Amino acid sequence: MKTNEEVREQEEARDVGTLVRVTINGREYRARRGATILEICQENGIPVPTLCAHDDLTSAGVCRICSVEIEGSWALQTACTMEVHDPGMVINTHSPRVRQARRAILELLLAEHCGDCYTCAASGTCELQEIADDYGIRELPYERREPRFEPDDTGPSIYRDMNKCIQCRRCIRTCDDIQSVGALGVFARGPEAHISTFADMPLGDVVCTNCGQCITHCPTGALREVDHTPEVWKALEDPDKHVVIQTAPAPRAAMGECFDLPPGTSVTGRMNTAMRDLGFDRIFDTNFTADLTIMEEGTELLLRLKAALVDGDTSMKLPQITSCSPGWIKYMEHFYPDMLDHLSTCKSPQQMFGALMKTYYAEEQGIDPESIVTVSLMPCTAKKFESDRPEMVDSGHKDVDYVLTTRELAQMIREAGIPLPILEETSFDEPFGDASGAGLIFGATGGVMEAALRTAYEIVTGREVPFDNLNIEPCRGLEGIKMASVKLEGVVEEWSFLEGAELKFAIAHGLANAQTVMEMLRDGELDDLHFIEIMACPGGCLGGGGQPMPVNDEIRRARATAIYSEDEDLPLRKSHENPHVAYVYEKFLTDGPCGHKSHDLLHTHYTPRGRELK
C-alpha cells in the first residue's frame, strides 16, 4: 500500500507539458501530457466528431458524440474531457462500440431535431448535418418528436428556433464565460430540458447585448441573425430608391471564408465589385467615419484631460471608454448604468455614417434624403439593434435603415450568382473615398486605441508615434486585457499641460474581460488610466457575431493579419490625414470636432437599463 507521501509524489510527477507515448487506433503517437484526447487527435489529423466542444470554450462533455474507447475502461470516455497523463494509454476512436454509441447518439439527436435542413440558414455549415452525413444516417429508428417551441423572431438582432437545438450548451457557455451576460439557461430536466431565457421572455426583452456570440458558437441553425436581406433586396429593386452601403472593416477580412477562400484573405476590392453588381448605388467605407470617430473621440479625450488636469472639473469622467461597439454599450447600460459617464459620447462609425448620409451626402449630391436607403455591412448583430435605437434619428430620418451581417451579404452574393473570388477589384465611391489604415484597424481589438494614438500623439507632440512604421504593437494581439502607456514629451504649446504626462490606456475584448476591467475601475484600481478601448466580441469586430463560422483564435489571428497588412500597404495611415475628413469639417461640420453640429449629428447619449426584468 502506498503512503500519503508516495501518492503525493506520484501526483506531482504528473508534470503537465512533457511528452508521453499513447497508442491511437494501433499507431503510436507522442502526446503532450495534460492534453485532451481530442486535442491529441486533432493535432495528429485523426477525425473525431464533436458537437459540444468548441476551441473557445471549456469542455462540457454533454453531447457525448466524441466518445472513444480506452483500454481498461469499461465505459467509453469523451475525448473532449479526457486528459492524457499516464504513458501507454491505448485509445480507439472507431471501435465497434464507439461507432455503435455515436450512431445511437446521432439517431437520438436527429429524431429530436425538426430536420428542416432545406430551409435552414445553417444548411451546409451545420455541424450536426455534417456528422449525420459522415455516419450515413438514412433513416431513424424513432418517430420524430413534435416541435416543442415557438421560434422567437421578435428580437432586434437574434432569431432563436429551439426546435433545431441539440442542447450542446455552447451558447450558454459563450454567454456566461466569454461574455459574462448570462442571458440563457437550461430549464426543466430530462427529456423536457431545453435552453431558454428567464421566464421564456423574448431575447430582446432580457439582459442580452445582442452581440451574437451565441450564433457564432452554435453548431446548428438554432440561432441566427434577424434577416434583413428581404428588405435590402426590395430596396435594390426599387428604382426610386438611392441605395448606399457602408462597409465596416472586419467583413472584408472574413467574407472570403464564405467563398472557400482561406481565413485571412482580404477581399475589399472584390467585395466592392460584388456589391456594385448587386445594384448598390454607392459603396462607402465605414473607415471614413472611423477616421471621423478618431477626430471626435480624440478631441473628446483631450477635452476631458484638459477639464480634469487644468480646470479641475471632475464632472468630465476619466478614463474615457470607447463607444463603437453596440454590444458593449448595451452591456454597460445593463451592468454599469451608474458609470455611463465614462463612455465617449461619440456615436459608432456606423451611426455617424448614417447621420451624414442623410444630411451632408444628401445635400452634396442633391438627393432627397427620403429616397436614400442606408444599408451597412457589419460583422455584428448588435449593429441591427443599434440602428433601431430610438435616438438614432438625428438626420431627421432613421439614420441607418438596414444592417447586413457578413453572412447575410455573402448569402445575397451567392443568390445572385456573383463569383466573388474571381471578381476584379474596385475602389470605394466619392465623396468619402478611400479611408486611412487607422480606420481600417478598428476591425481588430486594440485598433481604435492604436488609431487614436497615431492621431492624438501627433496632435499633442507634433511628431509621429514612436513606434516602428506606426505599428503600435502593445495594442495588438489576442490577450484578453492589455495595458500600456505612452509618455508625452516635447508637446506643442496648445497642449503644454500634458508635458511629461504618461498617457495610460487599457484594451479589452470579450465582455468577460470588459467586466474585469470595469470591476477594477469601480474598485479604484484604474484611476490613473486615461482611455480604455472595449469591444464586445473576442478579437474585436473581426470576431463579431455576424462573421462567418467557424471561428476560433487561429481564424481570428488570420483575420487580424489581413487587416494589419492591408493597413501597412495603405498610403494613408492616420485618421487626421484623411483629406475627406478634413473636407467634411471644412464644408459641413464647420465648428470642428466636438463642435455644435457634430454634437447634434455625431454624438449621443445612453440609457441606464439596469438588470431588473419587468
Partner 1 sequence: MGDRVILGPYAPGTAVDAALDQRRSDVVMTVRESGLRGRGGAGFPTGTKWMLAAAAAGDEKYVICNADEGEPGTFKDRVLLQEYPDLVFDGMVTAGYAIGAKEGYVYLRAEYRYMLDALENVLEKMRSEGRLGNAIRGREDFDFDIHIHLGSGAYVCGEESALIESMEGRRGEPRIRPPFPVVAGYLNKPTVVNNVETFALVSRVMEHGADWFRGIGTEESAGLKLYSVSGDVQEPGVYELPMGITVNALLETVGGTDAAAVQIGGASGTMVTRREFDRKIAFEDIATGGSIIVFGPERNLLGVLENFLEFFAEESCGQCTPCRLGTMRLLEGVRDLQNGSVEPERIDALRNLADSMAISAKCGLGQSCNAPFGSILDAHLEGVAR
Partner 2 sequence: MTTRTRIDWNNVVQDVVDMRGEDHTALIPILQDIQRSHGHVPREAQNAIAIALDVSQARVAEVISFYSFLTEEPQGQYIFRLCQTISCEMDGKDEVASALERALGIAFGETSEDGLFSLEYTNCIGMCDQPPAMLVNDDAFGGLTPQSVQDIVADYRRKGEER
What does 101 interact with, of partner 1, partner 2, none (CB < 5 to 8 A by kind)? Answer: partner 1
Nearer to partner 1 by Cβ, of 192 and 240: the residue is: 192
User: Given 9, 71, 363, 391, which residue is catalytic?
Assistant: 391
- Say whether residue 1 binds partner 1 (CB under 8 A): yes
- Say whether residue 19 binds partner 2 (CB under 8 A): no
Residue 585 backbone phi and psi in degrees, to 5: -70, -35
What does 191 interact with, of partner 2, partner 1, none (CB < 5 to 8 A by kind)? Answer: partner 1
Residue 60 grid cell: 462540457
Tell me how far apart the alpha carbons of residues 305 and 528 are, in angstroms, rounded to a whole number: 12
Q: 334: helix, coil or strand?
A: helix
What does 13 interact with, of partner 2, partner 1, none (CB < 5 to 8 A by kind)? Answer: none
Task: Provide, rounded to whole angstroms, the least separation between the CB of residue 154 and partner 2.
Answer: 18
- Say whether residue 199 binds partner 1 (CB under 8 A): no
User: Given 324, 346, 380, 594, which residue is catalytic?
Assistant: 324
How many other β-carbons are positioned within 10 Å of the β-carbon of residue 82? Answer: 22
Amino acid code (one letter) for 272: N
- Cross-strand bridge partners of residue 77: 68
- Say whether residue 81 binds partner 1 (CB under 8 A): yes
How far CA 151 is from CA of 114, 158, 162, 210, in Å, comes to 12, 11, 7, 17
Tell me how far apart the alpha carbons of residues 46 and 68 are, in angstroms, rounded to a whole number: 12
Tell me how far apart the alpha carbons of residues 221 and 211 are, in angstroms, rounded to a whole number: 17
How many other β-carbons are positioned within 10 Å of the β-carbon of residue 183? Answer: 23
Side-chain-side CA neighbours of residue 292 (13 Å): 35
What does 310 interact with, of partner 2, partner 1, none (CB < 5 to 8 A by kind)? Answer: none
Nearer to partner 1 by Cβ, of 10 and 427: the residue is: 10
Nearer to partner 2 by Cβ, of 157 and 322: the residue is: 157
Tell me how far apart the alpha carbons of residues 529 and 521 are, in angstroms, rounded to a whole number: 9
Secondary structure element (H or E) that encloses residue 24, with its range: strand 19-24
Nearer to partner 2 by Cβ, of 27 and 189: the residue is: 189
Nearer to partner 2 by Cβ, of 138 and 614: the residue is: 614
Place of cell 462609425: 349
Nearer to partner 1 by Cβ, of 17 and 190: the residue is: 190
Q: Of 207, 243, 290, 460, which lies in the binding site for partner 2, with binding defined by CB under 8 A? A: 207
- Say whether residue 182 binds partner 2 (CB under 8 A): yes
Burial of 328 (0-12, 13-18, 19+ CB in 10 A): buried
Nearer to partner 2 by Cβ, of 28 and 612: the residue is: 612
Do the Cβ atoms of 409 and 252 come closer than 8 Å?
no
- Say whether residue 19 binds partner 1 (CB under 8 A): no
Q: Of 185, 369, 480, 595, which lies in the binding site for partner 2, with binding defined by CB under 8 A? A: 185
How far CA 521 is from CA of 235, 249, 331, 474, 513, in Å, comes to 45, 30, 15, 21, 12
Query: Which range, of 185-193, 352-360, 525-533, 556-564, touches partner 2 by CB under 8 A?
Result: 185-193
Query: Does the active-site annotation cover 386?
Result: yes
CA 142 from chain centre, in angstroms, equals: 39
- Size of interface with partner 2, in residues (CB under 8 A): 19
Query: Does the active-site annotation cover 565?
Result: no
Tell me how far apart the alpha carbons of residues 334 and 328 are, in angstroms, rounded to a whole number: 10
Query: Does the active-site annotation cover 300?
Result: yes
Task: Provide, rounded to whole angstroms, the least separation between the CB of residue 84 and partner 1.
Answer: 12
Do the Cβ atoms of 128 and 219 come closer than 8 Å?
yes
What does 112 interact with, of partner 1, partner 2, none (CB < 5 to 8 A by kind)? Answer: partner 1
Secondary structure element (H or E) that encloses residue 388, with its range: helix 382-388
What does 507 interact with, of partner 2, partner 1, none (CB < 5 to 8 A by kind)? Answer: none
What does 11 interact with, of partner 2, partner 1, none (CB < 5 to 8 A by kind)? Answer: partner 1
Site for partner 2 in 261-290 (CB under 8 A): none
Tell me how far apart the alpha carbons of residues 405 and 384 are, in angstroms, rounded to a whole number: 9
User: Given 344, 348, 387, 575, which residue is catalytic?
Assistant: 344
CA 275 from chain centre, in angstroms, equals: 22
- Say whether residue 190 binds partner 1 (CB under 8 A): yes
Return the sign of the alpha-carbon dihedral for residues 367, 369, 372, 377: positive
Nearer to partner 2 by Cβ, of 172 and 508: the residue is: 172
Task: Provide, rounded to whole angstroms, the least separation between the CB of residue 411 and partner 2.
Answer: 31
**282-285/242-247 β-pairing:** parallel
- Say whether residue 149 binds partner 2 (CB under 8 A): no
Residues of this chain that bind partner 2 (CB under 8 A): 176, 181-189, 196-199, 206-207, 611-613
Residues of this chain that bind partner 1 (CB under 8 A): 1-4, 7-8, 11, 59-65, 67, 74-76, 78, 81, 83, 97, 100-105, 108-109, 111-112, 141-142, 166-167, 186, 188-193
Which are the catalytic amino acids? Answer: 297, 300, 324, 344, 383, 386, 391, 541
